[in-house]
């Protein structure tokens, strides 16, 4: 049975006879998976040519196949990659070339995820991506159907018999099927830990069973009235039993390592567990000129021209302190310009002001990491 998740930059192929040029390792904590049902690994660096990134536990090994070694590498984990077969989703954040997940962790590769970056345009470019997976320990620790797990994700589990091709749609706490061809769906059973939210969320398709193909076809967004669509194709005669789980983050999801970037062994091994770059993550569709204000644990936007900002969403990892500090912004996604217009001080009641400008016609999706 094949599982596919149609997200940018995500697919499997085989590679490789690499040339070792750089190794960055991080301490592997086997004791627990402390975060949520959805776990993640974040990586960024400057790439020239072709480089391969190996992720195992909390270890990161970068090897260069052609071009120059990776520069300015940084990475963070919410949880270690488990020593188990897990289905990964890759989200491309930045970079002009190709980013591919070429191997998922399994017994044959000692439970190592392998990502390949190919930059063929000459010179270096900045790349960033995120891997997500569903922590199967979550239900073992009390999640199950009750939704009372201390972890921070929700889910819907679907089960039914399928003949031919069918689309399974989810909106809020409802699910329904549409038969494309064949006999359709029989004995459908659906269990929600919580209704699918009326906001844009990134779903993980995991734990799929059945002899055919299961595809997460459409993520919920404002354009589809926050509806998720899964396609099941069963090309053999008769029916087969299919089951899958869709999982998503709760609104107050908290990463253990988010904003805690590690460049090498020495930084990750520091006894004081130094945490750098804590702040707030913001995303939204921007058109024209907007000001983004941050004060304490509050954030708001002021539109100067263009259309109103859509799908604005943010998550604080630490409140902006009521004292002078240096605020920086990293644009993870978006075609226009973003800069810090005003640093927090006593004169502005310790408020940081960012300027977002997008004048390329229509709105574009922006994703910002604001740090202090």
Tell me what pLDDT residue 206 has: 67
- Same structural domain for residues 105 and 177? no
Q: Give the DSSP per-residue string, 299-361.
A: EEEEEEESSPPEEEEEEESSPPPSS----EEEEEE-SSEEEEEE---GGGTSEEEEEEEE-SS
Task: List, edge to edge, every strand of the sheet that includes 364-371.
Answer: 310-316, 279-286, 364-371, 328-333
- Same structural domain for residues 95 and 172? no
Any domain includes 90: yes
Tell me what pLDDT residue 318 has: 85
In the chain (372 residues long), the average pLDDT of successive 10-residue segments reads 41 35 32 49 92 90 90 84 82 89 89 93 90 60 34 80 95 94 93 87 76 88 90 90 84 47 44 51 90 91 86 85 87 84 89 89 87 86
**What H or E segment, with its residue span, contains residue 266?**
helix 265-268
Any domain includes 361: yes
- Same structural domain for residues 302 and 360? yes
What are the structure tokens assigned to 122, written together?
């000459």
Tell me what pLDDT residue 12 has: 35
Residue (of 271, 274, 242) closest to 260 by Cα position: 274
- Same structural domain for residues 17 and 108? yes
For the chain, state the CA radius of gyration. Answer: 22
- Same structural domain for residues 12 and 133? yes
Tell me what pLDDT residue 262 has: 55
What are the structure tokens assigned to 63, written together?
């090897």
Any domain includes 261: no
Any domain includes 301: yes
- Same structural domain for residues 10 and 127? yes
- Same structural domain for residues 222 and 173? yes
Domain boundary among 137, 166, 193: 137
> What CA–CA distance (Å, rounded) separates 335 from 358?
7
- Same structural domain for residues 161 and 220? yes
- Same structural domain for residues 59 and 109? yes
- Same structural domain for residues 127 and 219? no
Tell me what pLDDT residue 362 has: 83
Any domain includes 259: no
Domain boundary among 249, 267, 289: 249
Any domain includes 160: yes
Any domain includes 143: no
Q: Where are the beta strands (DSSP E) in 235-309?
A: 240-249, 279-286, 288-295, 298-305
Any domain includes 148: no
Q: 306 is in which domain, residue-wise?
A: 277-371
Tell me what pLDDT residue 182 has: 93
Structural domains of the chain, count: 3
Say which residues have a Cβ less than 8 Å from residue 237's Cβ, sequence separation at least 6: none
- Same structural domain for residues 176 and 109? no
Residue (of 116, 92, 118, 115) closest to 104 by Cα position: 115
């Amino acid at each position: 049975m094949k599982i596919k998740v149609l997200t940018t930059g995500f697919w499997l192929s085989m590679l490789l006879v690499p040339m070792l040029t750089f190794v960055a390792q991080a301490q592997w904590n086997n004791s627990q998976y402390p975060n949520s049902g959805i776990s993640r690994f974040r990586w960024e660096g400057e790439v020239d040519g072709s480089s391969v990134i190996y992720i195992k536990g909390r270890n990161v090994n970068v090897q260069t196949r052609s071009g120059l070694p990776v520069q300015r590498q940084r990475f963070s984990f919410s949880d270690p990659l488990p020593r188990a077969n897990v289905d990964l989703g890759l989200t491309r954040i930045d970079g002009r070339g190709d980013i591919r997940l070429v191997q998922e962790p399994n017994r044959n590769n000692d439970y190592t995820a392998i990502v390949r970056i190919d930059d063929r345009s000459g010179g270096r470019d900045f790349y960033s991506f995120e891997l997500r997976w569903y922590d199967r320990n979550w239900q073992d620790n009390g999640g199950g159907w009750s939704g009372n797990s201390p972890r921070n994700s929700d889910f819907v589990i679907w089960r039914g018999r399928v003949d031919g091709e069918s689309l399974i749609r989810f909106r809020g706490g409802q699910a329904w099927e549409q038969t494309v061809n064949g006999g359709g769906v029989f004995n459908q059973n659906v269990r929600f830990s919580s209704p699918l939210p009326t906001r844009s969320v990134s779903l993980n398709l995991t734990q799929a069973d059945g002899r055919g193909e299961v595809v997460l076809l459409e993520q919920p967004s404002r354009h589809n009235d926050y509806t998720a669509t899964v396609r099941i194709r069963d090309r053999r005669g008769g029916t087969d039993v299919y089951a899958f789980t869709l999982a998503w983050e709760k609104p107050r999801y908290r990463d253990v390592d988010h904003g805690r970037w590690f460049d090498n062994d020495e930084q990750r091994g520091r006894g004081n567990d130094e945490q750098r770059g804590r702040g707030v993550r913001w995303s939204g569709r921007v058109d024209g000129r907007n000001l983004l204000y941050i004060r304490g644990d509050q954030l708001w936007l002021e539109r100067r021209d263009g259309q109103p900002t859509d799908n604005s969403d943010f998550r604080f990892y630490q409140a902006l302190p009521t004292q002078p500090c240096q605020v920086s912004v990293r644009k993870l996604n978006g075609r226009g310009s973003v800069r810090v217009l005003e640093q927090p001080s006593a004169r502005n009641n310790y408020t940081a002001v960012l300027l977002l400008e997008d004048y390329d016609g229509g709105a574009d999706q922006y994703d910002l990491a604001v740090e202090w």
